[in-house]
Amino acid sequence: MRGLQIFLLCLPVCVAAGSRSVWDGAYTKEQSARGKTAYLEVCAKCHGETLSGGEGAPALAGKDFVKNWNGRTAGDLLELIIKTMPTDDPGSLSHRQYADIEAYVLNQNEFPAGAKDLDSAPDASKDIRIEEKK
């Protein structure tokens, strides 16, 4: 019983040590720049040039966006984009392009760049939490 208590006390710490957040640098500057090009060509027509939203399309940057995604992961977001975007032809970009676009979205929400690209496989970033605050 005592052993279990120790295990439970340790659990949050152990999980925190093994997971990451978007504040740890989940993408690279170069990836975000590539993502910007793709975003403007494919996404901006609905979500707006400054990611502030448009007719029938929500904002992808700003307080409400981050609040809405708080607690979910970069991998969840990537999976959603791949499955549903662009709305007229979901899944039509390469997974690398989708990851680049998400990198640009993270950049525009002022999450810092890091040393490694956001992986193009959603499962690889399911441990990167999106958090409103550091």
Partner 1 sequence: MTRPKILPAAFVLLLALPAGAQRGATNGEWRYYGGDAGTTKYSPLDQINAGNVKDLKIVWEWKAQNFGKRPDFNWETTPLEVGGVLYVTAGTRRDAVAIDAATGETLWMYRLDEGARGLVVARAQNRGLAYWTDGKGDERILMISPGYQLVGLNAKTGQVEPGFGTKGVIDLTKGLDRAVVKPGQIGASSPAIVIRDTVVVGAALQSGNAPPSKENVPGYIRGFDVRSGKLLWTFHTVPQAGEMGVETWEKDSWKYSGNTGAWAPLSADEELGYVYIPVEMPTGDYYGGTRPGDNLFSDSLVCLDARTGKRIWHYQLVHHDVWDMDITSAPVLTDITVNGKKIKAVTAVTKQGFTYVFDRVTGEPVWPIVERPVPQTDVPGEKTAATQPIPTKPPAFERQGTSVDDALDFTPAIKAEAQKILSQYKLGPLFTPPIVNDSNGKRGTLLSPSHVGGANWQGGAFDPETGMLYVASVNNPDSLGLIVADPKRSDMGYVDGRGGTARGAAPSYAPAEGGGPTTVRTAPEKNIGPDGLPLVKPPWGTIVAVDLNKGEIAWKVANADTPEYVKAHPLLKGVDLGRTGRPSRSPLMVTKTLLFSADGANLFNAVAGGGGNTFRALDKKTGAVLHEMQLPAYATGIPMTYMVDGRQFIVVAVGAIGVPAELVALALP
Tally of CB atoms within 10 A around 31: 24
Would you say 19 or 84 has its CB closer to partner 1?
Answer: 84
Would you say 52 or 124 has its CB closer to partner 1?
Answer: 52
- Which helix (H) or strand (E) covers residue 99, if one does? helix 95-108
To partner 1, the closest distance from the beta carbon of 53 in angstroms equals 5
Residues near partner 1, by CB under 8 A:
40-42, 44-46, 48-56, 58-59, 61-64, 84, 87-90, 92
To partner 1, the closest distance from the beta carbon of 86 in angstroms equals 9
Would you say 80 or 124 has its CB closer to partner 1?
Answer: 80
Identify the sign of the CA torsion 51, 57, 58, 60: negative
**Distance (Å, whole) CA 7 – CA 107:** 37
